[in-house]
């Protein structure tokens, strides 16, 4: 039995009815979680606090003075010896402010200051040199008369009387003068080292007369008392 094309096109029992899809499920209701809300508030507050701390740490710095090179006690401070740096404020530190730069130049170091060390009010002195009751004597020494070691302000030395050229060695204890180094310089004309030493006023003339003969030698002693 055959069917005709017309019969194939017969509408079904639901012909003409609208095409209804699956039923729409209503969206689930969001459940409030107080714990998450509190955690979000705490995290936000912590972020604000950390931001405020970071801002305060970067803005509470101050510009102070520090040593560019090592400065030994007794040395005159030059512009090349100090620099301006920024540090975080600390009540335990009392460095000189950068505004004191011009005042420090030309003063003497009252103690040894390491490179990078902060300059404080105790680091320098403008006390007159030599102090009252003392004198400074310059002693010119050849390389053979002075130790081949650097000497700095405050070093303890002895200037010892030596025999004249072709003279006999002394039989007793050589005469000497105890002194303290103020600073040293190189005499470019002679190549000698000029050591400026601090001695009591009463001994200055004797030492100067001995140094003028050239028959002296300098020994560097321990600074321990």
Output the six-digit token pair for 166.
């072709």
Q: How many Å apart are CA 196 and CA 183, to the nearest integer?
A: 6
What is 61-125's CATH number?
A: 3.90.1210.10
Sign of CA dihedral 7, 13, 18, 20: negative
Threshold 0.75, pTM exceeds: no
Q: What angle do CA 81, 98, 89 make, to 5 degrees?
A: 115
pLDDT in tens, the chain (225 residues): 445 555 555 555 555 555 555 666 666 655 656 666 667 777 887 777 777 666 655 556 788 999 999 998 888 899 999 999 988 766 667 889 999 999 999 998 988 899 999 999 889 988 888 889 999 999 999 999 999 998 988 899 999 999 877 666 666 788 999 999 998 989 999 999 999 999 999 999 999 999 999 999 999 998 755
Locate the domains of the chain by residue range. 61-125, 134-220
């Amino acid at each position: 039995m055959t069917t005709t094309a017309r019969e194939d096109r017969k509408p079904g029992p639901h012909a003409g009815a609208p095409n209804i899809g699956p039923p729409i499920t209503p969206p689930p209701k969001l459940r409030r979680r107080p714990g998450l809300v509190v955690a979000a508030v705490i995290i936000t507050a912590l972020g604000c606090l950390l931001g405020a701390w970071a801002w305060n740490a970067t803005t509470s710095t101050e510009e102070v003075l520090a040593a560019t090179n090592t400065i030994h006690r007794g040395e005159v401070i030059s512009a090349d010896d100090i620099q301006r740096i920024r540090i975080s404020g600390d009540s335990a530190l009392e460095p000189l402010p950068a505004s004191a730069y011009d005042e420090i130049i030309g003063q003497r170091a009252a103690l040894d200051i390491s490179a990078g060390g902060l300059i404080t009010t105790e680091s320098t002195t403008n006390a007159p040199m030599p102090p009252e009751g003392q004198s400074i004597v310059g002693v010119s020494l050849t390389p053979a008369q002075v130790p081949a070691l650097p000497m700095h302000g405050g070093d303890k030395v002895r200037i010892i009387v030596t025999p004249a050229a072709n003279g006999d060695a002394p039989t007793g204890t050589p005469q000497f003068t105890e002194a303290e180094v103020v600073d040293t310089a190189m005499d470019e004309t002679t190549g000698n080292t000029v050591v400026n030493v601090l001695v009591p006023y009463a001994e200055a003339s004797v030492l100067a007369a001995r140094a003028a003969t050239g028959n002296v030698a300098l020994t560097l002693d321990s600074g321990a008392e």
